[in-house]
Amino acid sequence: MGTFYFFLFQAHSGWRWIALLLLVITTVKVAIGLVAGQKWTSLDQKLVTFTNIAVSIQVLLGIFLYVLLLTQGGGITGRSVGSITTAHMIPALLAIGAIGFASARSKKASTDRQKFMMATIGMVIAVLMVVGALMSVGGIFVMATAG
Ligand code: HEM
pLDDT tens-digit map of 118-144: 999 999 999 999 999 999 999 999 998
Alpha helix stretches (DSSP H) within the chain: 3-36, 42-72, 81-83, 90-108, 112-135
* 73/143 Cα distance (integer angstroms): 20
**Over 70: is that where the pLDDT of 33 sits?**
yes
Instruction: Say what the pLDDT of residue 98 is.
Output: 98
Instruction: Say what the pLDDT of residue 144 is.
Output: 82
* 73/7 Cα distance (integer angstroms): 16
Instruction: Say what the pLDDT of residue 2 is.
Output: 86
3-state secondary structure 1-32: CCHHHHHHHHHHHHHHHHHHHHHHHHHHHHHH
Atom of ligand 1 nearest to the CA of 1: 40
Which of the residue ranges 4-8, 44-48, 59-63, 89-93 would you say has the lowest mean pLDDT?
4-8
DSSP 88: I
Instruction: Say what the pLDDT of residue 39 is.
Output: 98
Instruction: Say what the pLDDT of residue 14 is.
Output: 97
Q: Which class for 46: exposed (0-12), middle (13-18), buried (19 or more C-beta within 10 A)?
A: exposed
Tell me how far CA of residue 106 lies from CA of 49, 67, 140, in angstroms.
Answer: 11, 33, 28
pLDDT in tens, 41-65: 999 999 999 999 999 999 999 999 9
Do 46 and 103 form a contact (C-beta atoms < 8 A)? Answer: no
**Over 80: is that where the pLDDT of 146 sits?**
no
Q: Is 68 in the pocket of ligand 1 (CB under 6 A)?
A: no
Instruction: Say what the pLDDT of residue 4 is.
Output: 92
Q: Is 57 in the pocket of ligand 1 (CB under 6 A)?
A: no
Question: 139 C-alpha to center of ligand 1: Å?
Answer: 11
Q: Of all protein residues, whose CA lies closest to atom 40 belonging to ligand 1?
A: 75
Instruction: Say what the pLDDT of residue 74 is.
Output: 83
Write phi, then psi, for 73 (nearest 5 degrees). Answer: 75, -165
The whole-model pTM stands at 0.96
Atom of ligand 1 nearest to the CA of 55: 1
Residue 13: which pLDDT band, with cuts at 50, 70 and 90? very high
Atom of ligand 1 nearest to the CA of 138: 15
Residue 93: which pLDDT band, with cuts at 50, 70 and 90? very high
